[in-house]
Amino acid sequence: MLEAKKLSKRYGQHLALEGLDLSIGAGEVFCLLGANGAGKTTTLNLFLGFITPTQGEARVAGLAVQQHEAQVRGLLAYVPELVMLYPRLTGRENLAYFNTLAGRPALSPQESTGWLANAGLQPGAMDVPVGRYSKGMRQKVGIAIALAKGARALLLDEPTSGLDPLASNELSELLLRLSGEGMAVLMATHDLFRAKESGTRVGIMKAGRLVETRATRDLGHAELEQLYLAHMRG
Amino acid sequence: MIRAIARKEWMELSRDGRFRVAGALVFLLALVGIAVGALHVRDSRAEREAGARLTRQHWLEQGEKNPHSAAHYGVWAFKPESVLAAFDRGVEPYLGVAVYLEAHKRNATQYRPAADATAAARFGELTGAGVLQLLVPLLIILLTYSAFTAEREQGTLRLLLSTGVRRHQLVLGKALGIGLALAALLVPLFVVVVVLVVGLGGGAGVSPGELLGRLSGLSLGYGLYLAGFVFLGLAVSAWARTSRGALVALLGVWMVNALLVPRLAVDAARAWAPVPTAQDFARQLAEDYEKGLSGHDPVDQRQAALERETLARYGAASLEALPVNFRGIALQAGEEYSNRVGAQRFGELEARYGEQERLHRFFAPLSPMLALRHLSASLARTDLSAHLRFTRQAEQYRQGLVKQMNDTITFRSKYGDADYKADASLWREVPELSLDEERLPEALGAQVPGLLLLGFWLAWTTFFALRACARLSAV
């Protein structure tokens, strides 16, 4: 579903991403680990078409991102680190707005309730202005937007950053459920624990290069940590 | 898609306390301006109508007297007050409202409202047009400066662009949403103007079709001007890195448009085509009437030449032997000479005004407000052109009246009959002053360049907004 071939991005003298080869299938949750500046967000931006690669190609469902930007955007959903929504609109109104922008048919009240509940938002919060939401609640709306869009791949950038343990756990469960439904998930994160819990594979990035890829079932929490630290220190 | 974006913008704005407060303030100011303007028009029209009735009554009841004395007795001509002056007073406050019509000389208009204004009023009069020209653009700046910068600063832009929405749809949707918010403010004001204009007796001198056409023209002009500001605000917001930068840039544009260029235009016009002071003009005119336009053509020499010419034409040996009263002929000849003097001097003055206006318009590409001001005042019949139209017609009437008096002396009295007097029957023969006001097609025809300029203003701001938005990046 998500494929990178020799994908590179250079900013002047700085090589932000170097020759990334990656393939993420439907139902897979791939967690990109790495220090700040390792190239995780650059990878997401390249799949989203926010930036153009210096070399190589990113593909979504076989479509080259640069050549089929509009179709690719329809296949992808994106949840940034801080899900920023329109504070004067309610969660339901934000969902309806982004859903329309994605070119989807208008949602009925029952449908929007369904999507928001599916993402874990309490019914009592759905018609409250988002300005009063916590970070976790905003993220749930962000995920509801992604779900309602009917995307086939989900890109998340540091989704557990700043979340309390319960919200973080709910997110893990949701990702597992989505992967079970055939969604391909690419998640950039610093959270080794959640990567192990949610991911089917992890990739460790360092200085713009993907230096290690492992299936999470082959790793325990401690092993993953040791592996990560070894790469960071090495 | 565009509708959905517009709807979201509208929802956000309608819940934004800043917009509600600023909008209410602008609405109230415009409402007060229009209401005060309407009261002024009502009072002014009543005063001028009463003045016109009174001067006619005085003319008819002046009693028996020599027609030349009657020509000196004269009448007042009052400029009709346009009902749309309730919305836009244009240059009315700076020009006179009445002119005294008498024999021998063309007078300048008198009673400039600005001359009676208090010092405080000189800071600027609050009118509906002024609020729309100056304050509504400020409100638009408040609504648009952060339209894209806030999306970037708050982080919604990444999410927004990840949906696949086209950038031109964002611009048009936001413009439509902000336009709807403005319409919620301006449409009721437009209704108030219509109600007040009709209430003021809009039919007097203006047909409903004419009035509707003028209101439509005003709506078009102001629509183009304000829509241009909406797109300019969106363009700068998409182009700027921060909301603060966008706000500073837009306020700069506002100052250039509303303060700097109009000031420069006025100063440049004064320097390019200076007009004499009222005192200097009156002194020059009096000298020309006395000494002739050339300064070497005094009145007694002209009189002697006329005598010779008249005697030769009738083959008479003396003035007493003429079949007509030479005094009337002499008076009319003197009148025609002074008419030429007046036409030349006032023509020069009007030409200067014209040059000033042309130079003023030359600055309009730098300030669409200048183009709008001309359009607005023209459609409201409160511009210089409407004033000059009045003064020319009043002068034509004066010349006709004086000629009628002089012809009466010429053909109904004998030379040397110093006791000849006419009565009310002659005064009644003189028609009342009837003014032919400029029609809409003429006004619109003169304002085509201004309308084109406002259209160009909207076109380039739209283009700028689309270009700036195409450069919007999520990273």
Which domains are present in chain A? 2-85+151-233 (3.40.50.300)
Q: Is the pLDDT of residue B114 over 60?
A: no
How does pLDDT run across B166-224, given as a tens digit for each residue? 888 989 999 999 999 899 888 988 888 888 877 766 555 667 788 888 889 999 999 99
Q: Which chain A residues touch B160 with a CB distance below 8 Å?
A: 98, 101
Residue among B64, B22, B82, B105 at smallest CA distance from B402: B105
CB contact (8 A) between residue A142 and residue B160: no
Q: What is the mean pLDDT of chain B?
A: 86
What percent of chain B stands above pLDDT 90? 29
| Over residues A146-161, mean pLDDT | 85
pLDDT at B296: 56
pLDDT in tens, B377-394: 999 888 888 899 999 999
In the numeric block, which tokens belong to residue B193?
A: 């103007």
| Domain tally, chain B | 1
Residue A85 has pLDDT above 70, yes or no: yes
**Of chain A residues 67-126, which have a CB less than 8 A from chain B?**
69-70, 73-74, 76-78, 80, 82-86, 88-89, 93, 97-98, 100-103
Per-residue pLDDT for B119 more than 70?
A: no
pLDDT band at B45 (very low <50, low <70, confident <90, very high): confident
pLDDT at A217: 87
Q: Do A101 and B164 touch (CB under 8 A)?
A: yes
CA distance A136 to B132: 45
Contact B194, B22 (CB under 8 A): no
**What pLDDT score does B175 carry?**
93
Residue B128 contacts residue B87 (beta carbons within 8 Å): yes
Identify which of B12, B163, B475 has the shortest CB distance to residue A101: B163
Nearest-CA distance B165 → chain A (Å): 6
Residues pairing with A4 in the sheet? A22, A58
Q: Up-side HSE of residue B401: CA atoms within 13 Å toward CB?
A: 32
**Chain B partners of A82 at a C-beta cutoff of 8 Å?**
155
C-beta atoms of A80 and B156 within 8 A: no
Question: In whole angstroms, what separates CA B39 from the centre of its chain?
Answer: 19
B16 touches chain A (CB under 8 A): yes
How close does chain B come to A76, measured CA to CA in Å? Answer: 8
The pLDDT value given to residue B236? 95
> In which band, very low, low, confident or very high, does the pLDDT at B123 lie, cut at 50, 70 and 90?
very low
**A101/B160 touch (CB, cutoff 8 Å), yes or no:** yes
Please name the member of B4, B474, B475 whose beta carbon is closest to the beta carbon of A97: B4
How distant is the alpha carbon of residue B226 from its chain centre? 21
pLDDT at A140: 86
Q: What is the pLDDT of residue B470?
A: 85
Lookup result for tokens 């565009």 = B2
Mean predicted confidence (pLDDT) in B76-80: 91
- C-alpha to C-alpha distance for B31 and B43, rounded to whole angstroms: 18
CB atoms B474 and A50 under 8 Å = yes
- CB of B313 less than 8 A from some CB of A: no
* Residue B135 in domain: yes
A69 CB neighbours in chain B (<8 A) are 164
Q: How confident is the model over A24-41, as a mean pLDDT?
A: 90
| A 14-33 residues inside an 8 A Cβ radius of B | none
Phi, psi (deg, nearest 5) at residue A208: 85, 0
Residue A162 falls in which region: left (phi positive, over 0), alpha (psi -120 to 50) or beta = left
pLDDT (tens digit per residue) in B265-310: 888 888 888 888 878 888 888 887 777 655 555 667 778 888 889 8
B12 and A86 within 8 Å at the Cβ level: the answer is yes
Q: CB of B147 within 8 Å of any CB in chain A?
A: no
d(CA B110, CA B102): 14
Tally of CB atoms within 10 A around A25:
13
DSSP state of B45: H
Q: Is residue B161 less than 8 Å (CB to CB) from chain A?
A: yes
Output the CA torsion sign for B314, B315, B316, B319.
positive
Q: Hey, what amino acid is at B276? A: P
Of B8, B162, B475, the CB nearest to A97: B8
Extract the tokens encoding A13. Answer: 């003298």
At B10-28, the pLDDT tens digits run 888 888 888 888 888 888 8
Mean of pLDDT values over B46-75: 90
Residue A82 has pLDDT above 70, yes or no: yes
| pLDDT tens figures, B215-264 | 899 999 999 999 999 999 999 999 998 999 999 999 999 999 989 998 99
Nearest-neighbour CA in chain B from A198: distance (Å)? 23
Query: Does residue B475 form part of some domain?
Result: no
% chain A with pLDDT above 70 = 100
| Residue B453 · residue B364 · CB < 8 Å | yes
Q: Do A50 and B475 touch (CB under 8 A)?
A: yes
Domain that holds residue B81: 2-470
Burial of residue A53, with CB atoms counted within 10 A of its CB: 0-12 exposed, 13-18 middle, 19 or more buried = buried
The phi, psi pair for B415, rounded to 5°, reads -65, 130
Whether the ipTM is more than 0.95: the answer is: no
Q: What b/e string do you get for B179-205 counting C-beta neighbours within 10 Å, with b at 16 or more? A: bebbeebbeebbebbeebbeebebeee
Q: What is the per-residue pLDDT across B310-343, written as a single tens digit (0 to 9) for each?
A: 899 888 888 888 889 998 898 898 888 888 888 8
Would you place residue B138 in the very low, low, confident or very high pLDDT band (cuts 50, 70, 90)?
A: very high
Q: How far apart are CA B147 and CA B154, in angstroms?
A: 11
Count CB atoms within 10 A of the CB of residue A88: 18
Beta carbons of A152 and A183 less than 8 angstroms apart: yes
**Residue in A closest to B173 by C-alpha:** A101
Does B430 have pLDDT greater than 80?
Answer: yes
Report whether B179 contacts B230 (CB < 8 A).
Answer: yes
Q: What is the pTM of this model?
A: 0.80
DSSP secondary structure letter of residue B106: P
Sheet holding A153-157, edge to edge: A76-79, A153-157, A184-189, A29-34, A201-206, A209-215
Answer yes or no: do B159 and A102 touch at CB < 8 A.
no
Is 60 exceeded by the pLDDT of residue B55? yes
Size of interface A-B (CB pairs under 8 A): 68
Q: Do A78 and B156 touch (CB under 8 A)?
A: no
